[in-house]
A and B are shown apart, each in its own frame.
Chain A
Amino acid sequence: MALDDKKSRFKYVGTTPNRPDGVDKVTGKAQYGADITAPGMLTGAILRSPHPHARIVSIDTSAAEAIPGVRAVVTGKDFAPVEDQGFADIGETCMARDKVLYDGHPVAAVAATTPAIAKAAIRAIKVEYAPLPHVTDVDEAMRPDAPVVLEGRALEHVPAGMSQNVTNTCEFGHGDVEAGFAKADLVLERSFKVAAAHQGYIEPHACMASVTSDGRADLYCCTQGHFFVRAVCSALMGMEASQLRVTASEIGGGFGGKTTVFIEPVALMLSKKSGRPVKLVMTRDEVFKASGPTVHASIDCKIGMTKDGRITAGDMTLRYSGGAWPSGTIEMGAQAGFAAYDMPAVRTIGWTALTNRPKEISYRAPGAPQAVYAVEAVIDEMCQQLGLDPLKTRLKNAAAKGTLSSYGVTFDEIGMVATLEAAQAHPHWSAPLGPNQGRGVAAGFWFNFGGNTCVTLNINTDGTASVTEGNPDIGGSRASISLMAAEELGIRYENVRTIVADTASLGYNDNTDGSRVTFAVGLATIKAARAAIKVMCERAAALWGIDAEAVDWIDGAAHPSGPNAGKFPPMTLAEIAAQSFQTGGPIAGHHEVNVDGAGVSFGVHICDVEVDPETGHTLVKRYTVVQDAGKAVHPTYVEGQMQGGAVQGIGWALNEEYIYGKDGRLQNAGFLDYRIPVASDLPKIDTVILEIPNPGHPYGVRGVGETPIVPPLAAVTNAVSRTIGKRMYQVPMSPPRILSAIKGA
């Protein structure tokens, strides 16, 4: 049997069939987190802190417990301490122990027979707080005299003498930065602020937990990774992983925000104490207050450039805060900032500090949009000062195969040059602009992940195939996985059904994150299909009485590999499957792997804005996304990722931000004042998909989901700055900020 590892001609991959869950989702049948019910189910509710920082003096739950219909009350004391620091931190975000650390921090929870009783019980719980000084801004939190959010959490390599809020520092780069600046004709250093943004998924967190008295439990929840949910929840509940089965419901958006738990351990504990299934659903204001937004950032970025546009050095300091617990996002930001460019000397220093805000969680390319924004905005300002074309300048410095990246890896085949050239060639780049309009361009980068992945592929006796995978389908991945299985097996897309299995049915799968699913699950599916093909070739060989090595798999059928192998008509998958009970039993393939080789992805965005010079009101008038997808398995779904990511970035650039008052409380915990883009805010988002194959995938697939949110902060900033003739250094660029810049204040 002969199988090429790499494939470049496709029959199904690259087509755009309907997704298998489409009908359920347009008829209201699909079951999302809040749609799951169980007989005898109770409703849970959570009491949250109104203080950004306070010691919990006492919690009196007696009045709540006395209300008829209240079946369980839970506080931090119900959870035993766990050793793993990461899990302990997540547990503490779900239920405070001694201190509350942010506005909205849970302090108690109840389960009751009706939602109204649960609400009444929450109001009946008395908590005595001793308020503590708070800090919600990263720059203030880093001052030595700042209120300390958590003590003793700084990593060993953090220099002494800093605020205890500073928990980590990192440095990446190469070359002599000072020597690089000495060679520059222009050195520009600018400081930036980027507000925290929320993922803004439309489905609030929801789960339904059922714990039985023999120590087993079932949990249904909307999540990007039910295996991770199992790992955290079983640890916090003191259970063995095998006794907790987690099933992922359909998921109403995540964008990284559903890669952890916020309510699931609480629902499990309420169920354990009440002996009844418990449903817990966040309200929208709870989502904003107490699920994870992004880090907020303060950045200094310095770049040196020759007058013909060659970058000689770059030096950046990033200060991120991911809320009240240590956060690792700084490292990704520090690695991503300068990654698009081939630089002789580059240094990025990152700092992370604690603030009285909810614990940050991933949002689409976590950490990268902020750092890349600063770099792309400084480059744009330098192009303006030096009179250089922004795309030509980027091309002059673009990273390519063989470039030593700013974070230490040497790039393989990458698409940075190709995306810049495609942007240059796009009609948008040369289209005329109207009055009060301007055009910005920016590049962006994301690593993409691989990770732990399991796939089982069963050949059914009717000639169809069932793929069992373990990554929640957040935007059509069941279709992409089915396409790759169909491609490999040589059967029609409609004859493959892909399902997302629960945690008891498959080995561990990493979260649906890092743009990894189409790449990693796709790779494992291809390998699982190849394993099944191998079995089918063996079965055909046995029926023919020839050596299995002398059978080839072509277009969904076993063929003798040549004249010497024997003269048999091809035997189709359906024929082999139909005889499987007689030839050795059911046929399946499976593949388990920690996938490496995710290809990095680059994108270039072009943005036209129109700014009202009297109010600062800004409308995006035209927007184009160019991105390397490696291989677009389902091109319209790839376009959808590019459009959706770009629009999230546009929202962040113009309006979206976490606004904390002087009292440390979140002021805009709702869709009314956390302003995500609405349909009428936007133009068509044009897309150009490039396909520079990823050497790490049999079909060349690269992740595509995250890169599109990276360029918009700078693309919109550069467009606005060029329109108003003043540079903007803060995101979001709300109208008052733009108007203030216009007026020169």
Chain B
Amino acid sequence: MKSIQVSTTINGDPVEFLCTPDEPLLDVLRNRLGLTGAKEGCGTGDCGACSVTVNGRLVCSCLVLGVEAEGAQIETIEGMAQGETLHPLQRHFIEKAALQCGVCTPGILVAAKSLLEKNASPTDEEVRYWLAGNLCRCTGYDKIIEAVQSAAAEMRGEV
């Protein structure tokens, strides 16, 4: 299978890569670009551990072809903190114990950030439904919801 050259932007950086036409973006990120923050929990869009945004839209990178990244703007977990400064969501996830094993955490953070960009004051129910495609087997979700809400409150300037 002949590889295709793709030019894209990841976390603001220009990136070029070669990939085969059938290669999911997730495999490109992990195996070709060393961006292993996105995880493969299922490869079929059922778990959300590979969440990234493409042109601002939250997607599972396992359900996007690498070749579709041509000309796109991609954001991954690796771009969430600014240098040493964690995003409020990242900080609240640590402080509120919203992770146990942490393997679903990158996907949940990317998804939660996408939610708060659309809706700065979600209800708990809205957070739960938005994140329904991000499976977490450790926490029972309670502390994740709490962490998203406390980060949202901080981002609204309420703390």
Contact = CB atoms under 8 A, between A and B. Distances in A.
A684 B128 CA distance: 11
B43 A201 contact: no
Contact of A18 (B30, B44, B78, B94): B94
Contact of A646 (B47, B104, B140, B145): B140
A203 interface: yes
Contact of B93 (A26, A255, A644): A26
B42 interface: yes
Interface in A652-707: 670-672, 676-680, 682, 684-685
Contacts of A645: 140
A9 B145 CA distance: 33
A679 B80 CA distance: 23
A28 B29 CA distance: 12
B133 interface: yes
A252 B39 CA distance: 10
Contact of A685 (B78, B100, B106, B140): B140
Question: Do most interface residues of chain B lie in helix, strand or loop, or is the interface mixed?
Answer: loop
Contacts of B97: 16, 19, 476, 636-637, 639-640
A684 B142 contact: yes
Contacts of B90: 23, 26-27
B101 A643 contact: no
A204 B99 contact: no
Interface in B15-41: 20, 27, 30-31, 35-41
A640 B99 CA distance: 9
A255 B137 contact: yes
Question: Which range contains the number of A residues in contact with the other chain?
Answer: 35 or more
Contacts of B46: 284, 670-672
A254 B102 CA distance: 12
B120 interface: no
A26 B109 contact: yes
Given A202-B41, A671-B42, A679-B144, A475 B138 contact: yes
Question: Which range contains the number of B residues in contact with the other chain?
Answer: 35 or more
Interface in A514-537: none
Contact of A202 (B37, B76, B135): B135
Given A32-B39, A201-B101, A252-B103, A644 B128 contact: no
A643 B135 CA distance: 15
A32 B103 contact: yes
B20 A202 contact: no
A477 to B, nearest CB: 10
The residue in B37, B78, B91 that gathers the most chain A C-beta atoms within 10 A of its C-beta is B37
Given A203-B101, A284-B44, A670-B44, A647 B140 contact: yes
A7 interface: no
Contact of B141 (A25, A26, A201, A647): A647
Contacts of A648: 137, 140
B4 to A, nearest CB: 14
Interface string A294-333: 0000000000000000000000000000000000000000
A30 interface: yes
Contacts of A677: 140-141
Contact of A253 (B27, B43, B101, B141): B101
A678 B135 contact: yes
B155 to A, nearest CB: 16
Contact of A680 (B41, B100, B129): B129
Nearest to A32: B103
Contacts of B138: 253, 475, 640, 644
Contacts of A159: none
A332 to B, nearest CB: 22
The residue in B101, B109, B127, B143 that gathers the most chain A C-beta atoms within 10 A of its C-beta is B101
A34 B137 contact: no
The residue in A199, A202, A203, A644 that gathers the most chain B C-beta atoms within 10 A of its C-beta is A202
Contacts of B49: 202
A639 B139 CA distance: 9
Interface in A627-653: 636-637, 639-641, 643-648
A21 interface: yes
A203 B133 contact: no
B153 interface: no
Contacts of A254: 101
Contacts of B128: 679-680, 682
6 closest Cβ contacts across the A-B interface?
A28-B37, A252-B103, A647-B140, A25-B102, A475-B100, A22-B94
Interface of B: 1, 20, 27, 30-31, 35-44, 46-47, 49, 76-78, 80-81, 86, 90-91, 93-97, 99-106, 109, 125, 127-129, 131-145
15 contacts: A16-B97, A22-B94, A27-B80, A31-B36, A32-B103, A250-B103, A253-B138, A254-B101, A636-B97, A647-B139, A670-B42, A671-B42, A672-B44, A679-B134, A685-B142
